[in-house]
Each structure stands twice: as structure tokens, then as C-alpha cells.
Chain A
Amino acid sequence: MREGSRFFGRLWRGRVVGVTIACLVVALAFALLGIVAGSSSLTIPDVITTLLGGGTGGQELIVFELRLPRVVGGLLVGASLGLAGALTQTFARNPLATPDILGVTSGAALGAVAAIVLVGGSYSVGAGALSLGLPAMAAIGALVTSAAVYALSWRGGVDSFRLILIGIGATATLGGITSYLIARAQITEAAAAAQWLVGSLSGISWSSVWPVLVALVILTPIAVLQTSSLDISQLGDELSTGLGVAVQRHRIVVIACAVLLVAAAVSAAGPIEFVAFVAPQIARRLARTGRPPLLASALLGAVIVTGGDALVRGVLPGEIPVGIITAIVGAPYLIWLLTRRKERETSA
């Protein structure tokens, strides 16, 4: 019996596995509900039959072409945001450090809004920048901004604290420019920009789902390989070096994974707020670990986005963007977390 507790963290690892599996089950259940929910009535057995290839032509159209891209998109976008959030909060050793502070989201927002406003909105048949497409513009904005934030933070190595401060500065600057563009825009373009800025799965199609899937498939293993270094990095940069972690190399790998995941997710669905912040924190509390568990955070992100989207389509009237729901649920959680935060709780 004593032997059982001798192996490194066996007990809490067991709990992490349990939480991860539970999140996966819930995410898939919400996905199924998401396929069922909508104006055309489908039952759960209908959906399952159709998914297994036994549906009518009409059912197949609804499931495979209309609902499935949106549900799969929600799962992937949520997972990307959750994983990116867990990575950022862990490397920065700060639960409030979401990928937003790396400048990814504000860069993507500026790229997308510039595409909408300057090039004539998503309605015009695109010349110039819009021919790249809104998602591409968002991705370019995200990547350029994060690269600039990282480069500006570099002084013989990147210190997380300086990176966060520069990221906050960049976010404020780009946010200002984005607001300026919206203020100068035509009303229809401003409305389109505002819609995009909230984050929504309504415009998602198979073509915007693929890049997110590719990003997740490539980056998840890379991120998971950083797990033990992430554990060590919680002890501070000096002790991490002492324990044989190449701190700067580890950090750039983690940041690059987070930035690319968020860039892919935001390009597909706009900045769905608070998922990257909330999912890792809930996962950490469920799993009772010292830092957010990576896979559980990703799956919980998927739960939140698919659950939120099923809610807005199936329960609430009108077509509300899912980003509004995640913000309405996420912001109070942030406040609750802050009021409950223990004095000594300094790391992610």
C-alpha cells in the first residue's frame, strides 16, 4: 500500500486522466447535441444513423454540409484556444496570462477589420487584400504582431514579465487602431467588423476548419512533449537551467505553439473571448494540479465552445454569436476566481 504512493505523482496523474476522459465525453456529447440543434428537426437517432451513412439525402445535406462543419469547427477552435491558454498561463506562471497578451488576438482583429473596412467589407467581390480572404488577413495580423512582440521583448533572452508588458502595450495600440478603422467605416462594414470581433461559428465551413485541424494535429504533440519542461519551469528560470532545461528554446517552442493555435482558431471563428483563459483554469481546478493540464484544458475548451454554440442555436432565440455567451459566462468566472484567489497562489 505504501508502495502505491511511491511512484511520482501517480495519484494526481490518475485524476488528470479521469478529468481528460470526462472532458472528451462531454465534448462529444455537446457535439452531438450541436448537430441535433437547429431549425430543421432532427432527432439524436436520426443524426447517429446519418453519421453512420444511413440517412436520407436531405438529412445528409443538413448533417454533413450545414451542421457538422460548425460543430467540428467548434470542437477544434475550442481545443486550440484551451491548449494555447494552458501553454501561455503555464510558461508565464500567471493564470491571467492568456494568449491575447502575446498580441495574437489584437493582431488578428486588426487584420480582419482592416480587410473588412479598407477593402470594402465581406460583401464585395474581393480585389487586393480581401482576395487573400478574411481568415488569411487575420492569420497574418496575428503572426506579424506576435513576432513583433517577441522580438521587442528580446534582450539576450525573453523574460516572461517583459513579454507580457510589451504584449499588453501592443494589444492596446492595435485595439486603438482597430477602433479607429471601425469609427471611420460605413455602417454596414462597421456592423460586419463588430460581428467578426465577437467571435462566431456561423460563417464557418469545411475550408476554414481544415487549417485549425492541421494546426492542432501538428502542434498538440509538440506541446505535449514540453510537459516535463513546463513542470520544471514552474520553479523559475535559474533552477530550470540548473535542472537541464534549455529555458529559451523551451519558451520559444511553447510560445510558437500557442500563437499558431490561436492564429488558426481566430482566423476560423474570430476572437471567441475567455475560452483560452477559462478552460485551463477550470481544468486545473478539476484535476487539482499545480498548473493547467494540457489535454484536459484543450478538451474543456472544446466543451465550452461546442456547449456555448449548442446553447445559442438550440435554446436561445435569434442567432447570437457564441463569443457573447463565452464572455457572459467567462467574465463572471474571472471575477469569482479573483475574489477566491489565495494569497500564496502565485503560479499558474
Chain B
Amino acid sequence: MTDPATTPSLVKERPTPALEARGVSLAYDQTVVFEGLDLRIETGEVTTLIGANGCGKSTLLKAFGRLLTPTAGTVELDGRGVRSIPTREVARRLAILPQKPLTPSATTVRDLVSRGRHPHQSLLKPWTPADTIAVDEALAATGLETLADRDTASLSGGQLQRAWIALVLAQRAPTILLDEPTTFLDLSHQLDVLRLVRSINRERGATVVMVLHDLTLAGRYSDRLVVVGGGRVIADGTPWDVLTPAVLREAFDLDAIVIPDPSSGSPLIVPVDPDDAIALDAE
């Protein structure tokens, strides 16, 4: 089953990636989304997948999270085929927050977050003080301590999203996948979530892979961007490497200028509308 080329001793310099897609083909029913895709997710980085609607960035994230089985190729977690690892063990190493999880009824925030401990429990090892600590820390990290006993039905969109992130944090997996964690949130709550993501990465050393729509925010809060489109990786690198007018035109069919964000120094995408009057000097 193992490809001889994957033997760690042959790989020089670069450490084992947290996740790696090798020759992965992905399809829904008959529609092929990717064919023979290779992509490494480096340990300890925040990597964001961006691309136009329907380009397959969520599909790719699902493949990394074993929610979708590739029709060809393998996905490796810490250097091992994810399919060969028992699902509960995968869950201790890899957490996934899908785009639309279902909110259970009559459940407090603490109950919800506690479910993140499921992969750490078994018949012989039920709830332990370590589980309580993990849940308390997740609630504290997301600023939900005071809401812990509230019913999840009474939370605002931003609070609920923080509760979902707390659940994933309580899972204590070193690699975390987030599918559009900022969708349906207003700008200040989007920033809250992304700052939280950054602190998870910096303070816990977690590897984060997420899908975002907002290119400027993606550039600001990621170490690395992967631009997906047309069934392949269009560009892959640091935000300044990737967010160029040429890439934006190819991936999003967007005319834009890119300037340093005066607040963070990261790339700020300014879309250009030909109807607007101000003439711009051609680059």
C-alpha cells in the first residue's frame, strides 16, 4: 500500500507535513473536481484555501478531513494514510469544523463543547478531570465562560460560531480544519474568529487549514495561501506571493490592485470597476 517514495528517510530538510495529498482525485457522483492533485500542509502554519465559488476548496478540505473519499490517490496525516488510521485516533489528531454543523436542541454551551471530548473517551475511560480541564480551557479561550450554562438556541450567530470553535478546541487535535468559519458573521465577529484562529496557532502551535472567502482577511491572518481553480492549484505561497493582480484575474476573473494594508502591512485587495471615473496608471 505504501509508496516507497513516502519513506521518511528519503525526505531531506522538510519535516513531515501535517497533511499531504498525493495524486488525489476527487469527484461528486460523476463530476470530477480534482485529478491527481498534490498538496502539502506544513505543520505549525495557518494555511488558507481560497478560490472562486464552486472551485472545490471546500471539497479539498473535506478530503483532508476524510469526509470525502478520493477516487484516486491518498491523503496522509502525519505521514500515514488517513484511511489506515482508526477513525477515533484520527479524531484525536485532526479536528474538523464543517460549514453547517447542526445545533442540537436543549443543549447548553458546555454540553456542546464537551462533545469535543468524544474521541478521548471510551467505555473503559469515561469522563475524567482532564476532559473537564480541556472543556474549561476551550470555553475560556473563546470567551464563553459566562455563557457556559446558556442554551445554544439562545446564542447569537457570533457566539454560536465561537461555541463551535470551542468544541473543536476541546478536541485538542494538533491539526484543525475550518470550513468557512467566518461565513454569516459581520465584520467585527469575523475578526474575532480569525484572531482566535491566530492565537490557537501561535499559542498552541496548532496547524490550521481553513477556507475563507474574504481575500484581504485571508491574506492578513494566514501564513500561506493556496489558490484553487479549474481543478488545480493556481498559486501557493505567502500572501504577498499569491495575491497578485495576475493570480486574482486567473482565479477570480477579477481586476484588482493590491496595496499594503495600512494597518497590518498585509496585502489589501482593491477591486477595480471600469465604470468608476478615476483613471489609473497602468502597471
Q: Which of B67, B102, B123 contacts A241 (CB 8 A)?
A: B67
Residues in B with CB closer than 8 Å to A5 are 149
Q: Which of B100, B153, B171 contacts A236 (CB 8 A)?
A: B100
Contact with B along A287-329 (1 / 0, CB 8 A): 0111100000000000000000000000000000000000000
Binds A, one of B7-15, B103-111, B250-258, B263-271: B103-111
Residues in A with CB closer than 8 Å to B116 are 243
Q: Pick the most buried of B87, B95, B127: most chain A CB atoms within 10 A of its CB.
A: B87
Q: Which of B96, B104, B106, B132 contacts A242 (CB 8 A)?
A: B96
- A228–B125 Cα distance when bound, in Å, is 13
> Are the C-beta atoms of A290 and B119 separated by less than 8 Å?
no
> Are the C-beta atoms of A290 and B171 separated by less than 8 Å?
no
Q: Does B136 contact A (CB under 8 A)?
A: yes
- A49–B64 Cα distance when bound, in Å, is 67
- A174–B100 Cα distance when bound, in Å, is 37
A226-248 interface with B by 8 A CB criterion: 228, 231-232, 234-236, 238-239, 241-246
B88-121 interface with A by 8 A CB criterion: 88-92, 94-98, 100-107, 110-111, 114-119, 121
Name the CB-closest residue of A to B96: A242
Q: Which of B90, B102, B153 contacts A235 (CB 8 A)?
A: B102
> Are the C-beta atoms of B115 and A225 separated by less than 8 Å?
no
Q: Does B150 contact A (CB under 8 A)?
A: no
Main secondary structure of the interface of A (DSSP, over half): loop
- A342–B116 Cα distance when bound, in Å, is 27
B29 shortest CB reach to chain A, Å = 9
B34-58 interface with A by 8 A CB criterion: none
- The size of the chain B interface, using a CB distance under 8 A, is 42
Q: Does A53 contact B (CB under 8 A)?
A: no
Name the CB-closest residue of A to B171: A243
Residues in B with CB closer than 8 Å to A238 are 62, 65, 67, 96, 98, 101
Residues in B with CB closer than 8 Å to A231 are 104, 115
Q: Which of B65, B100, B107 contacts A290 (CB 8 A)?
A: B107
Q: Which of B104, B110, B119 contacts A243 (CB 8 A)?
A: B119
A234-B102, A239-B96 are known contacts. Are A245 and B132 too (CB-CB below 8 A)?
A: no
> Are the C-beta atoms of A235 and B101 separated by less than 8 Å?
yes
A38-52 interface with B by 8 A CB criterion: none
> Are the C-beta atoms of A242 and B97 separated by less than 8 Å?
yes
> Are the C-beta atoms of A9 and B118 separated by less than 8 Å?
no
Residues in A with CB closer than 8 Å to B102 are 93, 234-236, 239, 346-347
How many A-B residue pairs lie within 8 Å, measured between CB atoms? 93
- A237–B146 Cα distance when bound, in Å, is 29
- A113–B131 Cα distance when bound, in Å, is 54
A6-B132, A345-B105 are known contacts. Are A244 and B127 too (CB-CB below 8 A)?
A: no
A6-B136, A239-B101 are known contacts. Are A244 and B106 too (CB-CB below 8 A)?
A: no
Q: Does A8 contact B (CB under 8 A)?
A: yes
Q: Does A344 contact B (CB under 8 A)?
A: yes
- A236–B103 Cα distance when bound, in Å, is 9
Q: Which of A8, A234, A245 contacts B127 (CB 8 A)?
A: A8
Q: Pick the most buried of A8, A228, A241: most chain B CB atoms within 10 A of its CB.
A: A8
- A236–B98 Cα distance when bound, in Å, is 9
Q: Which of A93, A235, A236, A242 contacts B65 (CB 8 A)?
A: A242
Residues in A with CB closer than 8 Å to B177 are 242
> Are the C-beta atoms of B92 and A244 separated by less than 8 Å?
yes
Q: Pick the most buried of B89, B127, B177: most chain A CB atoms within 10 A of its CB.
A: B127
> Are the C-beta atoms of B97 and A234 separated by less than 8 Å?
no
A-B contact pairs, 7 of them (CB 8 A): A8-B114, A232-B118, A235-B101, A235-B115, A236-B101, A242-B94, A244-B89
Task: Please list the residues of chain A having a beta carbon within 8 angstroms of any beta carbon in chain B.
Answer: 5-9, 93, 225, 228, 231-232, 234-236, 238-239, 241-246, 288-291, 344-347
Of all A-B residue pairs in the complex, the 9 with the closest CB atoms, nearest first, are A244-B91, A242-B96, A244-B88, A238-B98, A244-B119, A234-B104, A290-B106, A236-B102, A239-B101
7 more CB-based (< 8 A) A-B contacts, given A239-B98, A241-B87: A8-B135, A234-B102, A238-B67, A241-B66, A242-B91, A243-B116, A243-B119
